Amino acid sequence: MKKGLIYSLLLPGILIGIFLAFHFGTASPLGGPLPSDEVESRDALIKDFLDEQGYLQSKIVSLRNEIESAQGEISIQSEEYGLSVLEKLKEDIGLTEKRGTGLSILLDDSPSVSRDALEVSDHELIQASDLRDVVNLLRAAGAEAISVNSQRVIATTPISSVGTTILINNVYITPPFNINAVGDKDVLLQRVLNKELLPSLYEKGIKNNIIFEIALKDMITIPVYNGDIKANYLNLIN
Amino acid sequence: MSERKIYILIVAIILGVFITTQIRSFLSINDLLVRDTQSNPFQEIQILRHNNEDLTSEIKDLETSLDKLQDQNQALGAIEKEINKYKKMSGDYGVYGPGMSITIEGNISTEWLVDIVNEALNVGAEAITINGIRTTNKTGGLDTLPQGQILLNGSILNSPYLVEVIGDGELIESALDLPGGIFDRIQNAFPETKLVVVGKDFIQMD
């Protein structure tokens, strides 16, 4: 049989095989885990939870301010309540606003992709692991306080993802991601510019056009932590 | 079409299916090596619901504290309670409680250690130490030295790495040990590395 004839059969055959395998291996959007009306209900439910979350967080901040005022009044009456200790502890764990020099990092997905698209490559998105790496690096470089999209990052802050959704302190955040850090800006900058310490992010910047911008700041403000503080299993050693 | 041509076509189609299957399995192996968890449509709602419950509980605690502060007789107790709570979190005071420990024998990189800590925090870990060093706002992040060694708070960490966690040990262990969870992903990324998990009734962090 002629070579040309074999190729003219092989090539369309392989293509048909690839087509068939993709066709039977790909779930259509409506054949996914949830029908479209359930997806809408789920989105509505998530929106309700997020609205409630926003209200609860503002209530927490407001209550903490009221408590601080009440403590201030007690402080005038007596100095024996250990309020200076309390203030120091609050500063240590992130319950006070922090201001100072530092830097601001902007991270955003590649302009060519949308998180809502059915098929999206992880390499073109900023992922929770990218944010974790940057936050960890800033901490290691001596940052005194860090926030991501106004969410204060404290020692017990998880930065996680559910699919393409990113959660910090279990609060939804969406791109673009603004990471602010108070600390020695030159030291912080030197570490962030070290490509070996953030290999994945720099690779994404080169290959996938994700946005990664750094700006030095003479004055930056990191907000107070507005989440819950869990110490249900912790006991102090006397 | 001759019989021979039909055979060639069938073989070519099978070849096409094999190629696609191979590409798909290659991509799923890559998925196992990614550091972030894959999508679960119900997980988002669960996380949000739990988070709102926690925030509501925090509001109740704060309201109780505020009420006590407004009563001269209870004010001191409220302040002491708050001081004690924050002392537990600060890392400057020794704490104890139930939890679990993870021993990692073998190589692991800084980012995967960060991920273990993160996954534990995600399911309610309240205090964590790595090789005896508590991770707090002050101890900073995990650093990587030029030779690949891991540094925490000025100390070089060596294998075996011992991560101790105070919290709901059973819950944390089950979350970390889920199929496709952090332990699975670490085992895929570092097949030679051995992970040993032990639930503990008492862990002390000085």
Integer-rounded Cα radius of gyration of chain A: 25
CB contact under 8 A, A129 and B16: no
CB contact under 8 A, B55 and A234: no
- Asked if residues A123 and A112 have their Cβ atoms less than 8 Å apart, the reply is no
The reported pLDDT for the residue numbered A28 is: 47
Residues in B closer than 8 angstroms to A154, CB to CB, are 137
Confidence of residue B87 (pLDDT cuts 50, 70, 90): very high
Would you kindly state where each structural domain of chain A is located, as residue ranges? Answer: 37-92, 98-222
The reported pLDDT for the residue numbered B30 is: 56
Predicted interface score ipTM higher than 0.90: no
CB contact under 8 A, A155 and B63: no
Neighbours of A24 (CB within 10 A): 9
Neighbours of B67 (CB within 10 A): 12
Query: Residue B44: is its pLDDT beyond 80?
Result: no
Neighbours of A163 (CB within 10 A): 14
CA A48 to chain centre: 21
Residues A98-222: name the CATH superfamily.
Protein of unknown function DUF881 (3.30.70.1880)
Confidence of residue A161 (pLDDT cuts 50, 70, 90): confident
- Asked if residues B167 and B125 have their Cβ atoms less than 8 Å apart, the reply is yes
Q: How much is the average pLDDT of A137-160?
A: 95
Query: Does B115 or A2 have the greater pLDDT score?
Result: B115
Q: How much is the average pLDDT of B154-176?
A: 94
CA B96 to chain centre: 20
pTM over 0.90: no
pLDDT single digits (tens) A184-211: 999 999 999 999 999 999 999 888 889 9
Best A40, A89, A171 residue to mutate vs chain B (most B CBs within 10 Å): A89
The reported pLDDT for the residue numbered A16 is: 84
The reported pLDDT for the residue numbered A194 is: 94
Nearest CB among B21, B39, B88 relative to A21 is that of: B21
Lowest model confidence (mean pLDDT) among A63-77, A198-212, B3-17, B26-40 = B26-40
pLDDT single digits (tens) A78-132: 555 677 888 899 999 999 999 999 999 999 999 988 877 766 677 889 999 999 9
> b/e per residue, B169-178, with b = 16+ CB within 10 A?
beebbebbee
- Tell me the nearest-neighbour CA distance from B106 into chain A, angstroms: 21
The reported pLDDT for the residue numbered A37 is: 72
Confidence of residue B19 (pLDDT cuts 50, 70, 90): confident
Q: Chain B window 76-135: which residues touch A at a Cβ cutoff of 8 Å?
A: 76, 79-80, 82-99, 110-111, 114-115, 118-119, 121-122, 124-127, 135
CB contact under 8 A, A70 and B66: yes
The nearest alpha carbon in chain A to B94 belongs to A237
pLDDT single digits (tens) B22-41: 776 666 555 555 777 655 65
Query: Residue B123: is its pLDDT beyond 70?
Result: yes
